[in-house]
Copies of this chain bind each other. A is one copy, B any other.
Amino acid sequence: MKSTGPRSDTVSTTGDFVSTAGAEPAQGYTLLLDDQLCFALYAASRAVTARYRPLLEELGLTYPQYLVMLVLWEQDSISVRDLGAALQLESSTLSPLLKRLEAGGLLRRERRTDDERSVAIRLTESGAQLKERARTVPMDIGDAMGLTPEQHTTTKQLLRTLTANVSQV
């Protein structure tokens, strides 16, 4: 296997399969699972989450909960709305998740007095302390990913471009 190297061959639009001219939707768009970037993305995302699981379990967090904590460790107080904007999650996902984190004693939710529609999320002492224990997590995962710094940066950049394009209305 591995016909040529990684990259370099640009999908061989070089015409080594010319047949099936009619019904095929032109240039390399097939229904083959292995052709789909979307599947590579979906599989990679779940694989990374799975890799996080044992590490985060020690901290008593799930992966989405960990992402919420990342935001809160940067910014001690934030509204549900802004948290949703940062993580690109709906309130219908965040509300129960935040309730669980509150039950776990990591944060508090308090209605804002200046705008009672809004709820401020704030770390507890316990939640703030968890940051220390989480310090090594990004490095552990980074190692497991096994990409060179250049590959790491390239991937992040490509995924951001992709997300921005795909999110376009």
Instruction: List the interface of chain A (C-beta within 8 A of B).
Output: 6-7, 9-11, 13, 25-33, 35-52, 63, 67, 70-71, 73-74, 86-88, 131, 134-139, 141-142, 144-147, 149-163, 165-168
In the complex, chain B residues whose CB is within 8 Å of the CB of A35: 138
Listed from nearest, the 4 A-B pairs whose CB atoms lie closest are: A146-B165, A45-B45, A29-B139, A40-B159
With A29-B142, A74-B32 already in contact, the answer to whether A44 and B86 are too (CB < 8 A) is: no
Output the least CB separation between A63 and chain B (Å).
Answer: 8
A10 pairs with B145, CB closer than 8 A: no
Output the least CB separation between A37 and chain B (Å).
Answer: 5
A29 pairs with B88, CB closer than 8 A: no
Supply 17 further A-B pairs (C-beta < 8 A) apart from A11-B152, A37-B145, A158-B158.
A11-B153, A25-B138, A31-B74, A33-B87, A36-B70, A38-B48, A39-B87, A40-B163, A44-B159, A44-B162, A45-B45, A47-B163, A47-B166, A146-B161, A147-B161, A147-B165, A151-B158
